[in-house]
Each structure stands twice: as C-alpha cells, then as structure tokens.
Structure 1
Amino acid sequence: MEKPTTSATCQQVPNLLSSFVDTFVDFSVSGGLFLPNYQNTPDSNAPVSHRNDENTPGKFKTRYPSPPGRLVAIGDLHGDLEKSKQALRLAELINDSGDWTGGSTTVVQVGDVLDRGGDEIKILYFLERLRRQAVKAGGEVITMNGNHETLNVERDFRYMSESGCEEFRVWAEWYRVGQVMKCLCEGLENPKNIFKGIPSSFPEIDNDNEAVVQGFRARIAALQPNGPISARFLSKNATVLVVGDSVFVHGGLKPEHVYYGLEKINEDVRDWLNGLGENYTVKKFLRYADAVVWMRDFSDDSTKKCDCSALELLLSTIPGARRMIMGHTIQENGISEACENRAIRIDVGMSKGCGDGFPEVLEISENSGLKVLTSNPLYRDKYLHRERKGGLGLLIPEQGPKQVEVKA
C-alpha cells in the first residue's frame, strides 16, 4: 500500500500552520499574551507603508505632528514588567487586565527595556500588544532603542541578570519547539538554525552551569543582528524621535547628529538590526560616551552640569523643537528638568534592578504644559497637578515646601 503523503494538504495551508505555530510560541514565551491582529492594524511581520516595520525599506518615520490627544513619556523599564504596568496604569493607559484604555493618547517609551531584570522578552511582547491595541483606538505606542539594546545586539551582556538569562533560555526552548513543529509539514520551508556559529562555551561565564550557557547562547541568537527578537522588535524602535515640539532620545544629541540626519540615524540603526551590516551611525553615533544612546551632557541630574547654551543651540537646529526628553541617567528624586524645561530627564530607576524607584511618567498637554504623574506616597494625590503652561507642574507634597520646583 502506498504511503500517504501530506504534502498536498500542506501546500494548501502553510500560512495557516505557520501562523498557528507562531501564535503558540508567542503565547508560551510572553506569559500568556495573544497579539491581536486587527484588520488594517500593523502586524509585527507584515509591511505597512505608513508605519515603522522591520520589513519596510526606505524612510523611517521620525517626525510626528503634535498628537490629537495626550502625549505621555515613560522612562527606562529594565526588565521589570510589574513596574512597567504600574507606570502605564499611573497614566490611565491600561486597565487591571493590561489592555489599552488610553484612547488617542500617544506614548513614547525611551528605551532600555533590556538588562537588569527577568521580564525583558515579556515587556517587548507586552508593548507590542499595546501598540496594536492603541492603533485600533486611534492612539500610538512608540518604542525607542537605548544603550542597553545596542549593548545586547553587540553581545555585551555585562548587565544581564540571572533571571534575564533564564528567560532567554526558556524562549529558546519554545522557539525550538516551534521549529520542530514547522518541520513536520513538507509544504513549509525548513527554518534556519539561529544557533549556527554560536560557541558552546564562553570565558566570561560559568561553563559548568548548563542553564547559564544555554541562556547565554539563546541571548546571542535572539538579539544578534537579524535575530528573531532584534529584527522583530528592536528594528521597529526609533533611535531619535520628534513629536510636536518635543525631541526624544535615550541619551542625547549633538549638532553633528542632526546634521547627519535624524531620519538617516533611524534608518541606519534599523538596517543594522536587520542584519545589513554596520554603517556610519553604528560606528560613529552608537558607541562611545558621546553617542546618541550614551551621552549624559543634558541628563545629569545636576542643573549646574547641564550646558544650557549648548542645548539651546542643539534645539535650534531642529525646526520647532522646544525641549529634549531623555532617559538613561537615573533621577534619584524623580523626573527632573533643567534649562527652563528645555531638558527633561525621565529615567527614575523604577525597575527593581535599578533601585526599585517609584514609577513616574511625564505628560505633555496640547499647550505644551508639562505634568509629572507619580506613585510616590509623599504626594497626597497622584492625580492632583499644578497646571502651569510651559512649566513642569509637579505634585504637591503633604509635608515640606508648598511646591516642588515649578518653573514658568
């Protein structure tokens, strides 16, 4: 009796099978999330001309007009999913189930999702899910690359936590399961081996600990240029962003960055993350102390160390720019400003791996008024704000001075 073949059937349903396997793996590694695939909503693997996507060549959307609704900025998350959700709830952007409730709000997360915590992959999936839900509701979730994203792509794992290593090891196990499932069907092309060429031992780790070795290898595989995580998630991130009159960058900018072209920087980083090789931006603007993801010229929490004249010159090179909003440097006393609100620093070290600070987020209103939403219990009401057009309206504490440095 002739052995039956499934090839004809497989040829009819390869996309369906592949989609099922991908959904199964996504659900398993994300902590139980389904990524909604709304009609006319960008899918993480489908090119969409008007939005940033890892498969879309050409121009990267770098400049956005002032949003019709609120504009909210969130600092470094560093592998802490619970604190990430607390920050989003603080701004009334998600409900208790983690679903988008922000309507037409535009959210910018300024990078450093990776390192120091054990929920790095889960946060990437969670933000992707919110991005799709937000678009459906008329909002926007824009994510950015920080120095810890670029460090990991370059195999620098010095800030990886033990739990972060384990999360990537588990991801690799599920990824392999998905590969095996796809190989069962003759109608599907066998997936590539993402671990090809990756060493089986490393001088910087305990090679007697098999789980650590496999987590290390998985992290390289996932985050190397054109890796499953770097291409799918990080390549869609902006490295420099302009929304209305606010410039967003993880570390900071210099005039030479602007002269080279903000759009070109984003395109270069995207191409590098998609495995197209190193380019001018990667070699000149992503490494060293004055890189766009590394510099601290304007993010140091000491006002005296911020060169306001240099910042003013920099902002003058970007049409319509009024302020620069940065992460990267932890503000021990919460979101801070310098140079009459020209420099806004929003990394508050909220992750448990960075000091377990109180979540805070920045809200920018249509008239450029700035407000800080905080979960710090020193403040009597986290939704009571001092409105001040053009000023940084901080919450009023129960004890101490009547206000916390409000500038016009």
Structure 2
Amino acid sequence: MISKISLQKLALILLVSVLFLTCRQEKETPQLTDNVRRIDGPYVFYEGTDTKVVGVNSSNQITKTDYSGELNVIVPEQMPEQFSLKLMNSIENPSSQYKKSDNIFVVSDIEGNYYSFAKLLIGNGITDAKLNWAFGDGDLVLVGDFVDRGEFVTQVLWLVYKLEMEAKEHGGQVHMIIGNHEAMLLEGDWRYTRLKYRELANALGIDIRELYGVSTELGRWLRSKNMIEKIGDILFVHGGISNTLLDKQLNLDEINRIAQENYGADLDNNNLEIANLLFGRYGPLWYRGLVKSYKDYYPKVNSEDIDRILSYYQAKNIVIGHCVVNDISTDFNGKVVRVDVEHPVTSDDKMESRALLIKDGGFYRMDDQGNKTKLN
C-alpha cells in the first residue's frame, strides 16, 4: 500500500521531470516537419535595436542569428546555388516616371521560380553567371507577381533586392512593380503559397503575414514599391488601366502614393473609395480588360479605350503582365505589349522562358539563351 508521503514524493518527481523537459524543449532549435523543403530565408526581423536573421538550414532546423553585415542566400539544387548581399542603408520610394531608356529588359509573373528567373537574367546578359549586375545603365522592369506558388519566393525577392542596389551603382535601375500576388502577400492572403511558408510561421509562433510585416526588411522594401511606372513614353503596370480607374483622373504619383499608404491594409471594412478601387477588380493589379473579357464583369477594351488611356498618360505603349498569353506579343497595333508567359520550373520542362527587350525603340521577344525576335 502506497503511503500519502510516497504519493507526494512521486507527484513532486513528476512535476520536476515535466519542468525539466519543458525547459529543454524551449532551448532546442525548432525543427520543421518533413513536408517542408529544406533551406529557406533569410528573413530579417527588426526587434527594437536588434536585427535578427531567421532561416531554415539544410538539416531542416530554424536558425536565428544577429545580422553580421552580410546575408548569404542559398537556393538548393539550383544554379547558381547561392549569392550574398548587404542590407540597404535606407529604403526610399522610387519615382513614378523615368527618362527614356534605350535598353529595357522586362520580366513578369515569375512566382517564386528561381530557375527561370536566373536563367533569363544570365542568358540575356542582365547579370553574369554569379548573378552580379551586368546590364550597365539599362533598366530591368519586373511587372509584378514574383511571389506565391513557387518554392523559392524568398530567394527570388532577395535577388531582386540585391540587383536593385547593384544597378544603381552602375547607373542602371531595377523597377520592382507590385502585382496582385505581392499585394495579397502583404495583406496576409496566402492561398497560393507553398505549405512550407505556413509551416515556418507556425514553427516561429507568428501569424504568416509577419514574415513580410512592417518589422521585416523585405516587408518594408515591398511596401515602398510602385503600382505603376512610366519610362520615357512607355507605361508599365501588372494588370492594366480600366475606364473606371481612368475616370478618376489620377496621375501616376497619386496612384502610387495611395497604393503605398494601403499595402497590407484591411480594405474590406472602410470607406476608402480610391484605395478600394486600386486594390479591387478594376484596379491596376487585377484588371484583365486589356487582354480579354472577364466573366460577366467587363468586356475587353476597344481601340478607343486604349487611345484614351495612352493619351491621358502621354504614353505610346503600355506593357502588362497578369494574363497568361502563349508568347510575348502585342495587341492594338503594338500599343499593348503582353509579357505574362509560362516559365519552365526545371530543366525537364520542354518550354523556354521568355522576356521582352525594348532596345533603341524596337520591341523584341527574348528567350533564355539571349536569342532575339522582333515583334510585329
């Protein structure tokens, strides 16, 4: 028969054991489940005066270190497999308009596809084989949707971030234009993301939107970006300009300012008419009418609509992504240039990546080997 004192001792032993195990678990590095692709990040978080770098290593463990002046980005089983960069000294909002450029390379809708993005950049001399800027004073225009769906979203964003700094050092420019998927990411709408990103947020004990929150470097950087830009007499926007938006008579600076003020905001429960328009079905992120009719909401625009858009913004062409087309192509006698195409994810895919080159006033379809075909 067990005495009362023995029971008390047993209970005490069990309590100490539980506390001991709990303490051990808190000190151990969290490990992600096996359905998460190894190696992710880095994610840079600002905690008071500290800058913390969080990532997932090759052992599938979460790491957390202090920023040491350089970030190393690893992309497993890709070429090149890694690159390094330093954080920007400050993040500034880009201009809405830029002077004419005789060398513009345009890519759209990469969606975390590091394989095709790197291959396009290297194959067309935008970077060297180690992904260092090699485009001189040229302009690299990224027309939205570089996040979601793919396995290497974080790495793709850091590559753009790195090239942005390097381009400026050589008199060039990287134009990262926000698409609907970047906006969704900042809003916390992660329907199209890989499971590994959700698993990481859960393991860190944070809401998934905090991976790109206002206390992170990538979150701050993305929130500085424009929704629409103009280089010379060419407009660049992810989705397009609708008649509904055009009727508001907003200039480019106004569109971008309102967008930047509302990235990540709850736009379902407010009375912000213009902000809701910009982020809604008829806004620059989601509008599809320059390419096709969309369900019962609106028909495809006509030539008069295109002329009205270009006239108001004093432009000759508008370059868009968002709607997948069979190849880099034009419409409305070359006034609309469509650049959202399917990209291969691995070398086993039987397709080639495509991009747009605007050089000395000519428009060219480029493949990932640098081969050039003039558009009609």
TM norm structure 1: 0.65
In the alignment, what sits opposite 1:209?
none
Shift of 1:373: 0.4
Question: Quick one: which amino acid aligns to residue 312 of structure 1?
Answer: D
Rate the CA distance shift 1:18–1:86 in 2: closer, same or farther, 3 A: closer
- 2:327 paired with 1:342: no
In the alignment, what sits opposite 2:228?
240
- 2:352 paired with 1:364: no
Question: Quick one: which amino acid aligns to residue 34 of structure 1?
Answer: S
Shift of 1:127: 0.5
Structure richer in helix, relative to its length: 1
**CA distance in 2: counterparts of 1:128 and 1:362, whole angstroms:** 21
Q: Secondary structure at the match of 1:233?
A: helix
Rate the CA distance shift 1:264–1:23 in 2: closer, same or farther, 3 A: farther
**Contact kept? 1:222, 1:229, Cα under 8 Å:** no
- 2:308 paired with 1:313: yes
**CA distance in 2: counterparts of 1:307 and 1:216, whole angstroms:** 50
Question: Quick one: which amino acid aligns to residue 46 of structure 1?
Answer: S
Rate the CA distance shift 1:28–1:371 in 2: closer, same or farther, 3 A: closer
**CA distance in 2: counterparts of 1:215 and 1:159, whole angstroms:** 20
In the alignment, what sits opposite 2:283?
291
Structure 1 residues 240-291: Cα deviation after superposition (integer angstroms, max 9, x where no partner):
111111101100013553512221121122222387998554322112x212
**CA distance in 1: counterparts of 2:171 and 2:73, whole angstroms:** 29
- 2:129 paired with 1:96: yes
Shift of 1:222: 2.0
In the alignment, what sits opposite 1:151?
184
Rate the CA distance shift 1:357–1:265 in 2: closer, same or farther, 3 A: farther
TM norm structure 2: 0.71
Q: Secondary structure at the match of 2:72?
A: helix
Structure 1 residues 69-114: Cα deviation after superposition (integer angstroms, max 9, x where no partner):
4111111110111111112123210111111111111011001011
**CA distance in 2: counterparts of 1:120 and 1:216, whole angstroms:** 21
Question: Quick one: which amino acid aligns to residue 83 of structure 1?
Answer: S
Structure richer in strand, relative to its length: 2
Which has more radius of gyration? 2
Shift of 1:305: 4.4
Question: Quick one: which amino acid aligns to residue 291 of structure 1?
Answer: G
**CA distance in 1: counterparts of 2:125 and 2:167, whole angstroms:** 13
**Contact kept? 2:71, 2:86, Cα under 8 Å:** no
In the alignment, what sits opposite 1:84?
117
**CA distance in 2: counterparts of 1:21 and 1:222, whole angstroms:** 17
Residue pairs, 1:37-56, within 5 angstroms:
43=88, 45-46=89-90, 52-53=92-93
- 2:251 paired with 1:261: yes
**Contact kept? 2:108, 2:146, Cα under 8 Å:** no
In the alignment, what sits opposite 2:159?
126
**CA distance in 1: counterparts of 2:111 and 2:204, whole angstroms:** 18
Question: Quick one: which amino acid aligns to residue 90 of structure 2?
Answer: A
Question: Quick one: which amino acid aligns to residue 342 of structure 1?
Answer: K
Which residue of 63, 84, 87 corresponds with 1:34? 84
**CA distance in 1: counterparts of 2:113 and 2:207, whole angstroms:** 20
**CA distance in 1: counterparts of 2:293 and 2:343, whole angstroms:** 16
**Contact kept? 1:230, 1:273, Cα under 8 Å:** no
Which residue of 261, 264, 268 corresponds with 1:271? 261
**CA distance in 2: counterparts of 1:267 and 1:256, whole angstroms:** 19
Unaligned runs of 5+ in 2: 1-47, 54-64, 76-80
**Contact kept? 1:124, 1:233, Cα under 8 Å:** no
**Contact kept? 1:306, 1:339, Cα under 8 Å:** no
Aligned residues: CA RMSD: 3.4
Equivalent residues, number? 302
**Contact kept? 2:245, 2:282, Cα under 8 Å:** no
Question: Quick one: which amino acid aligns to residue 307 of structure 2?
Answer: E
In the alignment, what sits opposite 1:65?
99
Question: Quick one: which amino acid aligns to residue 251 of structure 2?
Answer: G
**CA distance in 1: counterparts of 2:205 and 2:95, whole angstroms:** 33
Unaligned runs of 5+ in 1: 1-13, 38-42, 54-59, 173-212, 376-380, 386-392, 395-405
**CA distance in 2: counterparts of 1:64 and 1:344, whole angstroms:** 19
Rate the CA distance shift 1:90–1:306 in 2: closer, same or farther, 3 A: farther
Question: Quick one: which amino acid aligns to residue 316 of structure 2?
Answer: R
Identity, in percent, stands at: 20
Rate the CA distance shift 1:17–1:83 in 2: closer, same or farther, 3 A: closer
Residue pairs, 1:147-296, within 5 angstroms:
147-165=180-198, 169=200, 213-214=202-203, 217=206, 219-224=208-213, 226-228=214-216, 231-255=219-243, 257-258=245-246, 259-273=249-263, 279-287=272-280, 289-296=281-288
Rate the CA distance shift 1:356–1:122 in 2: closer, same or farther, 3 A: farther
Question: Quick one: which amino acid aligns to residue 345 of structure 2?
Answer: K
Shift of 1:308: 2.1
Shift of 1:158: 1.3
